[in-house]
Structure formats: C-alpha cells, structure tokens
Amino acid sequence: MADPRAFVSFDFDNNQVEKILFAGQAKKESPTPFTVHDWSSKTALPQSEWERLIKAKMASTNMCIVLVGKYMASATGVAKEITMAKELNVPVFGVYVGGAASTSTLPAGLPRNRVVAWRWEIVAAAVDQMMGEGKNA
C-alpha cells in the first residue's frame, strides 16, 4: 500500500522554513511514513483560481496537516484550506511549529484538541488516527 498523502497547510509569510523541514523529515523520522506534497503556489494567483487549484489538490490527499505557527491569526489562506478540507471530508490536524504552543492563536476551524507537538512519534500517531477517519481510509 502506498504511503498516506498529506496536504500541508502553513503560513506562507512566516513558516516556510518549518514547512521545508517538516516535509523533509516526514519520510525519514516519522514511525508512520507519509508523503508530503509541496503544492504551495509559486506565484500569486487570482482568488478563484487559487481556490480551484487547492480544492483539486486537497481532494487527492488523505489528510491535511496544518503547521501552526505564532502568527496564525494573519494566515487567512490557512483557514480557507481547513474549510476546503472539511468540505471534502479530508481529516485535519495541526502541529505546533516555530515556537507556537498550546496558548498560541489557532486558525479558524482547527480545534485545540487536534493540534500536537512536533515530535515524530506524536505526529505518527495523529497520521494513523487520520487514516482511520478519512474518506480515503
């Protein structure tokens, strides 16, 4: 069976480094292997085109992992991606990055009890849980 596919949602303005590290480490460090696809838009797109593109990409994944940084209140695209995931029945969970912690602001639609520390055994357990919940389980 192929590894689960994860869409990674993150604050483009503040957490690009964490996204690169997370994606690079996922395959080697996680006890449960999963594939992170880099679907970040390389250029600015009109809103309707961005939404169409992200929905299509999200529909082909098993889960959405939100990298929760310190400045999530200003990351409006992340909240939209969470909404899209829910509309497509793609399970969502978050991982604290960049110094964020349990008191940090969360993006709309992401419950606090669905956000975990960036420790690979905990992330792997969340991946396993998402695979039991998703449309592609």
Tokens of 63: 């889960």
Residue 40 has pLDDT above 70, yes or no: no
pLDDT surpassing 60 at residue 2: yes
In the predicted model, is pLDDT for residue 37 greater than 90?
Answer: no
Q: Which residues constitute the domain of residue 42?
A: 5-133
3-state secondary structure the chain: CCCCEEEEECCCCCCHHHHHHHHHHHHHHCCCCCEEECCCCCCCCCHHHHHHHHHHHHHCCCEEEEEECCCHHHCHHHHHHHHHHHHCCCCEEEEECCCCCCCCCCCCCCCHHHEECCCHHHHHHHHHHHHHHCCCC
pTM above 0.85, yes or no: yes
Tally of domains within the chain: 1
Region 25-36: mean pLDDT is 87
CATH number, position 128: 3.40.50.9200
**What percent of the chain has a predicted confidence (pLDDT) above 70?**
92
